[in-house]
Amino acid sequence: IDISTNINGIKISSCIMNASGILCCTEKELYNLMMSSSGAVVTKSCTIKPRKGNLKPRYFEWKGGSINSMGLPNLGIDFYLNFLEKKNSKKPFLLSISGLSIEENYLILRKANISSNMNAIELNLSCPNLLEKDKILGYDFSKISDFLENLFQFYKKPLGVKLPPYFEDFHFRKMAFILNKYPIYFVTCINSLPNGICIDINKESVVIHPKKGFGGIGGLSIKPFALANVRKFYTYLRKDIPIIGCGGICTGKDVFEYILCGASAVQIGTQFLKEGIPVFDRLIKELITILKNKNYSSLNSFKGKLNVF
Ligand SMILES: CC(C)(C)CCc1c(C(=O)O)[nH]c(=O)[nH]c1=O
């Protein structure tokens, strides 16, 4: 049974990898991922300078998943480029970037442009678009269009985008129209659902400190929305742009569902934080069992073949 995948020429031994932001910030965390069964290593979204991030508690687990307002804690682009230069593993690395402004993204990309040892950039479009306070770039279609137009003038290396969730067909079409104009290496759907709140009824309070308790929602409860985003982009994107699914994957069955919707690979966030490194071996085993029972020999036997009726 072959569960490897090929993201535009990047061969990934197993289609299951970590999601940006989860246990992928420090040297030790990146090393552990490099030595694990994760098919690739995705780094925490980085900025030009190291950041401490928001005050704690900034992450909380609830029955339906997770809520976070981390505030982009990371060791800065130079740390990650240096780690990439000195790593001696063949495992693919996706360097996630999330500048605090469009200008900062250009600065980071210029630095990344001279590094040879990463396989691709994962450009986080949930990054804030500082001009309008608390408005994320991913929901400002004209700004994204201008940004990508300028970006691809100078950035010629593999670059994929990580998208926030969309909910209306018009937005999927609009976003796919924009992305289809550029040499996009892959699209990762989705980032956390923005601005949810979780409540502790004993304290009658929110559960995280930053942003008056508002934070991104991840985990099982967002899976239906994440699957829908994968399916929509699989329908509207150029057929040569692979999709990486992310959102609420807890079992091999969830992985199967993403591939059925058209994903070529998947990323594990909340469940990886809950379970740690062993989650990758468990999901691989469960996925292989499902493929065996269905007599599928590889992902391509069923990728995108979701039935409607
Ligand atoms: C939300 C931002 C801080 C602008 C980007 C980093 C990020 C964070 C974070 O660092 O708070 N959390 C998420 O769930 N997704 C993200 O993309």
CATH number at residue 229: 3.20.20.70
Domain for residue 64, yes or no?
no
3-state secondary structure 17-58: EECCCCCCCCHHHHHHHHCCCCCCEECCCECCCCECCCCCCC
Question: Residue 32: which domain range?
Answer: 5-57+72-192+220-301
Q: pLDDT tens, 112-156? A: 998 878 899 999 998 876 555 667 899 999 999 999 999 999 999
In the numeric block, the tokens 């104009």 are attached to: 181
What pLDDT score does 42 carry?
98
Ligand 1 atom nearest residue 192's Cα: 14
Q: Closest ligand 1 atom to the C-alpha of 53? A: 10
Task: Yes or no: say if 174 and 236 are a contact pair by the CB < 8 Å rule.
Answer: no
Ligand 1 centre from 72 Cα, in Å? 6
Q: Which pLDDT score is estimated for 106?
A: 95
The pLDDT of residue 103 is 93
Determine, yes or no, domain membership for 197: no
Beta-strand (E) ranges in 152-298? 159-163, 187-189, 193-196, 199-200, 205-206, 215-218, 243-246, 265-268
Pocket test for ligand 1, best of 188, 192, 211, 268 (most atoms within 8 A of CB): 192
Q: Answer whether residue 210 is part of any domain.
A: no
Residue 205 belongs to a domain = no
**In this structure, which amino acid lies at residue 214?**
F
Number of C-beta neighbours around residue 75 at 10 A: 20
CA 10–ligand 1 middle distance (angstroms): 26
The predicted pLDDT at position 134 comes to 65
What is the value of ipTM here, to two decimals?
0.99
**Within a domain: residue 307?**
no
Catalytic annotation present for 126 = yes
Q: Is 20 in the pocket of ligand 1 (CB under 6 A)?
A: no
Ligand 1 pocket test target in 24, 42, 68, 195 with most atoms within 8 Å of CB: 68
Counting from 1 in the atom list of ligand 1, the atom nearest the Cα of 58 is 11
Exposed, middle or buried by CB within 10 Å (0-12, 13-18, 19+), for 130? middle
Going from the Cα of 275 to the center of ligand 1, the distance in angstroms, rounded, reads: 21
Name the domain count of the chain.
1
Assessment of whether the complete model's pTM goes beyond 0.95: yes
Known catalytic membership, residue 115: no
pLDDT tens string for the chain (309 positions)?
999 999 999 999 999 999 999 999 999 999 999 999 999 999 999 999 999 999 999 999 999 999 999 999 999 999 999 999 999 899 999 999 999 999 999 999 999 998 878 899 999 998 876 555 667 899 999 999 999 999 999 999 999 999 999 999 999 999 999 999 999 999 999 999 999 999 999 999 999 999 999 999 999 999 999 999 999 999 999 999 999 999 999 999 999 999 999 999 999 999 999 999 999 999 999 999 999 999 999 999 999 999 999
- For residue 66, being part of any structural domain is answered with no
> Angle at CA 83, nearest 5°, toward 80 and 84?
90
Tell which atom from ligand 1 comes closest to the C-alpha of 136. 4
Name the closest-CA residue to atom 7, ligand 1. 72
Pairing, β 120-124 against β 93-97? parallel
pLDDT at residue 127 in the model: 80
Cα gap 63→79, rounded to integer Å: 35
Average pLDDT over all residues of the chain:
96
Contacts of 309 (CB under 8 A, 6+ apart): none
64 lines ligand 1 (CB under 6 A): no
The CA 6 to ligand 1 mean position distance, Å, reads 27
Ligand 1 mean position to 126 CA, how many Å? 7
Q: If you search the block for the tokens 């069992």, which residue do you land on? A: 289
Residue 215 counted as domain residue:
no
Residue 301 neighbours by CB under 8 Å, 6+ apart: 291
- Which of 15, 127, 250, 261 is an active site residue? 127
Question: How far is it, in rounded angstroms, from Cα 177 to Cα 161?
Answer: 14
Q: Is 188 in the pocket of ligand 1 (CB under 6 A)?
A: no
What pLDDT score does 112 carry? Answer: 94
Residue nearest (by alpha carbon) to ligand 1 atom 10: 72
Task: Examine residue 202 and state whether it is found in any structural domain, yes or no.
Answer: no
Neighbours of 168 (CB within 10 A): 9
